[in-house]
Amino acid sequence: MKKSVIAALAVMVLLGGAAYASFFVAPTERTMGTIQRIFYLHMPSAITAFAAFLVCFVANVLYVLKREQSWDWLGVSAAEVGLAFVSVVLVTGPIWAKPVWGIWWTWDARLTSTFVLWLLYVAYLLLRSMIEDPERRALLSAVFGIFAFLDVPLVYMSIRWWRTQHPQPVIFGGPGSGLAPAMW
């Protein structure tokens, strides 16, 4: 059996185990109830999106400095991964918000800046699709990708800087801000 098939099977087993644990092993949260379980998908998706956009940013900077095609490929690959995961965030957030807040969406700082982040990386990929010359495409999209990354720290810090309807940080939020260890 190929290593890639074994790796894919291992990932599927791990994901299945994580899904099982989040639905059947983790205790039900007292205030929000069962809907809180969506955080086990929502938060890791946000963290993965941020990490992918960081990789895209670094690859874009390195492309501008070195003009090597491999950095362009890494940048666009990371942007695609980040866009997929921030899309999951934008879908799972409103699924949680409706029963907890009573509304699907509100234009608060965290939600709006996350939506802008999604739009920026959609624009990054659209820009790439509109330019035929590979070198010009790589350079212009790298510069745009560097600019687009500026929204990532804004999204992360938005609930710390402004009053927002979005919950305060449950991870890295300081003493008394997180979920009980049993919830993780």
Per-residue model confidence as pLDDT tens digits over 5-46: 899 899 899 988 888 888 888 888 888 888 888 888 899 999
Q: Are 103 and 72 in contact, with CB atoms under 8 Å apart?
A: no
Share of the chain above pLDDT 70, in %: 89
CA distance 146 to 46: 19
Does the structural domain 31-167 have CATH classification 1.10.357? no
Give the model's confidence band at 163: pLDDT under 50 very low, under 70 low, under 90 confident, else very high.
confident
Question: Which one, of 116, 124, 129, 119, lies nearest residue 57 by Cα?
Answer: 124
pLDDT at 180 over 70: no
Percentage of the chain with pLDDT > 90? 60
pLDDT digits (tens, 9 = 90+) for 108-152: 899 999 999 999 999 999 999 999 999 999 999 999 999 999 999
Residue bearing the bigger pLDDT, 63 or 28:
63
pTM score, two decimals? 0.83
Q: Give pLDDT, residue 123.
A: 98
pLDDT, mean over the chain: 89
pLDDT confidence of residue 51: 98
What residues does each domain of the chain span?
A: 31-167
Q: Give the chain's count of helices (H) and strands (E).
A: 6, 0
Burial string for 92-113 (b: 16+ CB within 10 Å, else e) reads: bbeebbeeeeeeeeeeebbbeb
